[in-house]
Amino acid sequence: MSDIAALEGDILAAIAAAGGEAALEAVRIAALGKSGSVSALLKTLAAMSPEERRQQGPRINGLKDRVGTAISARKAELGAAALDARLATETIDVTLPAREAPAEIGRIHPVSQVIDELTAIFADMGFAVAEGPDIETDDYNFTRLNFPADHPAREMHDTFFFNPKPDGSRLLLRTHTSPVQVRTMLAQKPPLRVIIPGRTYRCDSDQTHTPMFHQVEGLVIDKGSHLGHLKWILAEFCKAFFEVDDVKMRFRPSFFPFTEPSLEVDIQCRRDRGEVRFGEGEDWMEILGCGMVHPNVLRNCGLDPDEYQGFAWGLGIDRIAMLKYGMPDLRAFFEADARWLAHYGFRPLDLPTLAGGLSA
Ligand code: DAH
CATH of the domain at 331: 3.30.930.10
> Of 59, 89, 119, at which residue does a domain stop?
89
Whether 289 lines ligand 1, by a CB cut-off of 6 Å, is yes
Same domain, 42 and 180: no
Q: What is the pLDDT at residue 103?
A: 73
Alpha helices in 33-141 (DSSP H): 37-44, 50-89, 102-105, 110-124, 138-141
Domain that holds residue 231: 108-344
Contact 154, 143 (CB under 8 A): no
Q: In total, how many domains does the chain have? A: 2
Is the pLDDT confidence value at 245 over 70? yes
Question: Dihedrals φ, ψ of 180, to 5°?
Answer: -75, -20
Same domain, 81 and 123: no
Same domain, 278 and 336: yes
Residue 349 lies in a domain: no
Residue 66 lies in a domain: yes
Q: Whose CA is nearest to atom 12 of ligand 1?
A: 313
Residue 11 lies in a domain: yes
Residue 358 lies in a domain: no
Query: Which of ligand 1's atoms lies nearest the C-alpha of 314?
Result: 8
Number of helices and strands (H, E) in the chain?
A: 13, 10
What are the residues whose beta carbons fall under 8 Å from the beta carbon of 324, sequence distance 6 or more?
114, 241, 242, 359
pLDDT-based confidence at 1, cuts 50/70/90? very low
Same domain, 193 and 83: no
Whole-number percent of the chain with pLDDT over 70? 98
* Section 16-36 average pLDDT: 91
Q: What is the pLDDT at residue 329?
A: 81
In the predicted model, what is the mean pLDDT of the chain? 90
Distance CA 268, CA 285 (A): 7
Distance CA 125, CA 194 (A): 10
Residue 155 lies in a domain: yes
**DSSP secondary structure letter of residue 360:** -
Residue 143 lies in a domain: yes
Same domain, 81 and 164: no
Higher pLDDT, 156 or 172: 172
Tell me the pLDDT tens digit for each residue of 265-314.
Answer: 998 888 777 677 777 788 888 889 999 999 999 999 999 999 999 999 99
Q: Whose CA is nearest to atom 5 of ligand 1?
A: 314
Whether 257 lines ligand 1, by a CB cut-off of 6 Å, is no
Residue 60 lies in a domain: yes
Task: Quote the ligand 1 centre to 174 CA distance (angstroms).
Answer: 12
* Section 135-149 average pLDDT: 94
* Section 337-356 average pLDDT: 86
Tell me the pLDDT tens digit for each residue of 102-128.
Answer: 777 889 999 999 999 999 999 999 999
